[in-house]
Structure 1
Amino acid sequence: MPLPTDYWTRPIYAENKGWWQVADNWLMQCYNTPIRDFCVTTAFAPYTSAPESPHILWTKQIIFGGIAGGPFGDKKYYTGLSYEQFYTPLILEGRIIYVEHPPTSGVDVFGTRCIDLYTGEDIWFIEGASIDFAQIYDIENPNEHGLIAHLWDVSGPVANTTAEIYDAFTGRYLFTITNITWGGLQRFAAGPTIFGPKGEILSYYLDNVNNRMILWNSSLAIHRAFPWIGGEVGEIYSPGMGAVVDGRLGVQWNVSIPDLPGNPSISVIGEGYILAQDRVPVQQPGQYSSQFIYIDVAFDAKTGEMLWTHNRTLYQAYLRRPMVISEGKYVMMDEAELRLHCYDIRTGEELWVSDSMPSGWDIFTYQIHIAYGKVYTTSYSGHVYAYDLNTGELAWDFYMGNAGKETVYGSWPTYNGFTIADGKIYIANDEHSPDSIAWRGGKLWCLNATTGKLIWSISGWLRNPAIADGYLTALNYLDGKVYTIGKGPSATTVYVERDVIPLGSTVLIKGTVLDQSPAQPDTPAVAKESMSAWMEYLHMQKPCPQEVKGVPVDLYAIYPDGSYKYVDTVTTEPLAGGIYGLAWTPPMEGTYTIIAVFNGDESYGSSSAGTILHVTAAPPEAPSPATPEQIEQISQQVTPLQETVQTMQTIQMVIIVVIVVLLLLVAYDIYINRKMIK
């Protein structure tokens, strides 16, 4: 079955096999790792489609934002970018789930809200809950087959954690797991909590005090707590409503490890390996900043066995922990020399060191991620770099441009984590602790991940987005509104000025193509190349663009004989309300069906409309005026006839006169005779 290219929504009908290649969920804040903080928060979603244009589907105000005005001048409301992060969404089955909390706290919460991915409308709210991540668990046992979706609210100290589990569809509480040997939700790293192969929650706890490595498995805890009566553990999945599960049942293994140098914690897990790291400062006499010895330790993720340990001397690798292991490699940044260092996860050996980055502002390269065989980085310099994962050679360099005096960096900085999906990179401009008066020109950039070429951009500090099913959702910290970007529905109309005309007449086919997205219903649809300026005009109080390109409309006609024929293609005019028009002369008598088709594009789903036109028989032809030659010829023929007619008329007059005279003579003779008789 072909993959969808038109506008579509969840649920996906179960017979549409193959759609997994363009549809996916966003279950953790960094897609597959739990915490998306203010930095070191890159993410890669390998399955989902992602927006090809900056078309806005809907917006929703969730905090005060923008300029307050009056005595505060140009100052904007607090953004929470430094720490709180007001919107770190999850996406599950066409629904967005996010935690609401006060404007100056990232710990205290109001609760968790669920809204519709396609409209932004509220679905449910859990008072006081702080949902950390969602889970889709694949149940495959002799009696049950399919997926179950849960939400997890995790709290308490590491190694003795409590998790409250909720139903993801209704938001209702289900059960609690206590006494979890929990590795934690690591900040500034991918961390020790991941999904297992069936969607189970796996959390690795590195105990440096007792030299132990412990793996906790959610599915073991639940199956062991609720075994099927008379059957084996795992033959049925049936956690009891309101139950309290002893999390100690979920310990999959607890193994001894060697005494490790320093106090390493788990940075990232991937491809069957666990990478733990620590750094030890080494202050040299006369040295302003400390040199660090980085301690890297690798473990086997299946058994907990330590594989190797390396001490690496780097100047300042603060917050440079790797977010991903890919193709057997991980990468770190040396901010003193502005170089990337790539290591083999299997052996710990260094594979390559990149050339130094050219800008001093590249010292703030907090964001590094691996995807599609490349290493991507960005910083405060306004550059996005891509390096070949195998060689360390620079593959491409995208520059966001000169910011003039708007920023102190010369360009527009990036502090948040960029997001990779569908062969594209989405990067937003922002910085740590931005001033209350915002600098101008910040954008969300969409780049081709292979070439580094710009695909589109739009105004906004749209940081740390989540992407699923072709949609990107992020909070714009310049106005306090959530923007969800992606393809929206459209509506096409068509009609004719006169629907009954005689054969040979011309009719004017008219219509519109309008956007039906919740953000701007019944506004003109526009071409991708005009989309950024059009969306900024509609939603960000920017000036209306003087030139806006419309969308193409194909016109067809079903003829009276039943044949289906292409008529022409016209382009709408957005600045005139999205109208189009075409003058057309039907070639035969009978009833026509006129069809207008907008095929859709990167911004809109397709739509079509039809109308009826009837052509009657042509009226009789009026006599044609004589030509000069015809007039001359007739004149030559008429002249002799005129002379004959005149002669005949003279003879007739003479005869009439003679008859009248004779009649008078006869009458006179009769009169005389009668008189003589008397």
Structure 2
Amino acid sequence: GGRVHCYDAQTGNIIWTYDAEDPYNEILWGNNWPLYLSFVADGKIYLHSAEHSPIDPMPRGAPFICLDLETGEEIWSIKLRGVHWGGYPIIGASTIAMFNAYDNRIYAIGKGPSSTTVDAPMTGVSVGSQIILRGTVTDISAGTQGEEQLARFPHGVPAVSDESMSAWMEYIYTQKPKPTSVTGVTVELFILDSNNNYRSIGVTTTDETGFYSLNWTPDISGRYTVYAKFAGTNSYWPSQATTAFIAEEAEVQPQPTESPQSTVEQYFWVAVAAIIAVIVVCFVITILLLRKKE
């Protein structure tokens, strides 16, 4: 068990093969997880692992798997264990409902809503000086409002990239360790300036806390409206936020000027010049008298 074969219905040739390997080797009769076909939808095949009479404690890491129907490539996998007796996973309105035998809870898996915020400095903004625009992108799916999630993430559950989603959901909902290489989502910032020019000013990425920031320099004075837009992913619906600030013309610093000389200083230098002139005249007269005596 635990191996999926895809055959060409006309020729009988095997198109692809997928093995659901048990990395912990806790399955007593093989190296793969026993699999059941959950359903096929939207060009994907979904499989869950279950067993009629599992040993207790149950083997760790039973997967719920999504494969590309054409290629057999694994699109995503999450550690939720199905049941043999309690009904298979189902899908409707693009949402999967599944019973997880590890914690006896029902999970809904689908594209969730997001929330974006943005902040800008309210005072002290000058044309030509850098400012920091900042905000967050969070997951506001219904599951994030559970008591455990609210206690662990009082500022909201950060939104993460599709590549980080499986391990992140296990961390949020099934008490697995926090992933060490989480990547966030991209946010693009736009401004509408005082001349009614609308333009993009940059793209940034959130971190593992959901926080993002962008440095930018206002180039004209007046009111700016800032729009932060998260375009959404395969896991989240889009969201956006708006704020505003005013940029003032930078103050021109006056150039230092030489202070005029005081009257006392002027008389002092005139007197010095007169004394020097008298000394020179006396010296000339003395030279002339000495020559006459000779």
Q: TM-score, normalised by structure 2?
A: 0.81
- Please report how far the alpha carbon of residue 404 of structure 1 lies from its aligned counterpart in structure 2 after TM superposition: 4.8
Q: Secondary structure at the match of 1:535?
A: helix
**For the structure 1 residues 497 and 404, does the alpha-carbon distance in structure 2 shift closer, same or farther, using more than 3 Å as the test?**
same
Is contact 1:500–1:613 with CA below 8 Å preserved after alignment?
no
Are 2:242 and 1:618 equivalent residues in the alignment?
no
Give 1:587's match in structure 2, choosing from 200, 216, 219.
219
Give 1:555's match in structure 2, choosing from 189, 198, 202.
189
| Structure 2: segments with no counterpart, 5+ residues | 146-155, 259-264, 279-294
| Structure 1: segments with no counterpart, 5+ residues | 1-379, 627-641, 656-678
Which residue pairs with 1:287 in the alignment?
none
- Please report how far the alpha carbon of residue 429 of structure 1 lies from its aligned counterpart in structure 2 after TM superposition: 1.2
Give 1:450's match in structure 2, choosing from 57, 67, 70.
70
Which residue pairs with 1:529 in the alignment?
163
Give 2:206's match in structure 1, choosing from 540, 565, 572.
572
Is contact 1:403–1:412 with CA below 8 Å preserved after alignment?
no
Which residue pairs with 1:474 in the alignment?
98
Q: Secondary structure at the match of 2:138?
A: strand
Is contact 2:120–2:245 with CA below 8 Å preserved after alignment?
yes
Is contact 2:121–2:245 with CA below 8 Å preserved after alignment?
no
Is contact 1:502–1:617 with CA below 8 Å preserved after alignment?
yes
Which residue pairs with 1:545 in the alignment?
179
Name the CA distance, whole Å, in 1 between partners of 2:66 and 2:243.
40
Q: Deviations over 1:599-636 (max 9, x none)?
A: 1111111100011110112201342799xxxxxxxxxx
Are 2:141 and 1:517 equivalent residues in the alignment?
yes
**For the structure 1 residues 498 and 392, does the alpha-carbon distance in structure 2 shift closer, same or farther, using more than 3 Å as the test?**
same
Give 2:111's match in structure 1, choosing from 479, 484, 487.
487
Q: Secondary structure at the match of 1:456?
A: strand
Equivalent residue letter for 1:453: E
Alignment of 1:594-613 (within 5 A): 594-613=226-245
Q: TM-score, normalised by structure 1?
A: 0.36
**For the structure 1 residues 394 and 654, does the alpha-carbon distance in structure 2 shift closer, same or farther, using more than 3 Å as the test?**
closer
Which residue pairs with 1:411 in the alignment?
32
Equivalent residue letter for 1:599: A
Name the CA distance, whole Å, in 1 between partners of 2:76 and 2:48.
12
Is contact 1:510–1:579 with CA below 8 Å preserved after alignment?
yes
Is contact 2:126–2:218 with CA below 8 Å preserved after alignment?
no
Alignment of 1:373-388 (within 5 A): 380=1, 382-388=2-8
Alignment of 1:258-269 (within 5 A): none
Is contact 2:193–2:224 with CA below 8 Å preserved after alignment?
yes
Count matched residues: 256
Q: Deviations over 1:257-285 (max 9, x none)?
A: xxxxxxxxxxxxxxxxxxxxxxxxxxxxx
Are 2:40 and 1:420 equivalent residues in the alignment?
yes
Is contact 1:596–1:608 with CA below 8 Å preserved after alignment?
yes
Equivalent residue letter for 1:552: T
Name the CA distance, whole Å, in 2 between partners of 1:564 and 1:389.
55
Q: Secondary structure at the match of 1:495?
A: coil
- Please report how far the alpha carbon of residue 542 of structure 1 lies from its aligned counterpart in structure 2 after TM superposition: 0.6
Q: Secondary structure at the match of 1:417?
A: strand
Alignment of 1:62-77 (within 5 A): none
Name the CA distance, whole Å, in 2 between partners of 1:533 and 1:622.
60
- Please report how far the alpha carbon of residue 497 of structure 1 lies from its aligned counterpart in structure 2 after TM superposition: 3.1
- Please report how far the alpha carbon of residue 401 of structure 1 lies from its aligned counterpart in structure 2 after TM superposition: 2.2
Q: Secondary structure at the match of 2:119?
A: strand
Q: Secondary structure at the match of 2:37?
A: coil
Name the CA distance, whole Å, in 2 between partners of 1:646 and 1:616.
48
Q: Deviations over 1:52-84 (max 9, x none)?
A: xxxxxxxxxxxxxxxxxxxxxxxxxxxxxxxxx
- Please report how far the alpha carbon of residue 534 of structure 1 lies from its aligned counterpart in structure 2 after TM superposition: 0.9
Q: Secondary structure at the match of 1:457?
A: strand
Which residue pairs with 2:81 in the alignment?
461
Which residue pairs with 2:291 in the alignment?
none
Q: Secondary structure at the match of 1:649?
A: helix
Q: Deviations over 1:454-500 (max 9, x none)?
A: 00000011352111111100100111000000011111000113445
**For the structure 1 residues 402 and 512, does the alpha-carbon distance in structure 2 shift closer, same or farther, using more than 3 Å as the test?**
same
Name the CA distance, whole Å, in 1 between partners of 2:130 and 2:201.
14
Equivalent residue letter for 1:486: G
**Greater mean deviation of Cα atoms: 496-505 or 552-561:** 496-505
Name the CA distance, whole Å, in 2 between partners of 1:612 and 1:492.
15
Name the CA distance, whole Å, in 2 between partners of 1:431 and 1:535.
24
Name the CA distance, whole Å, in 2 between partners of 1:436 and 1:427.
22
- Greater percentage in helix: 2
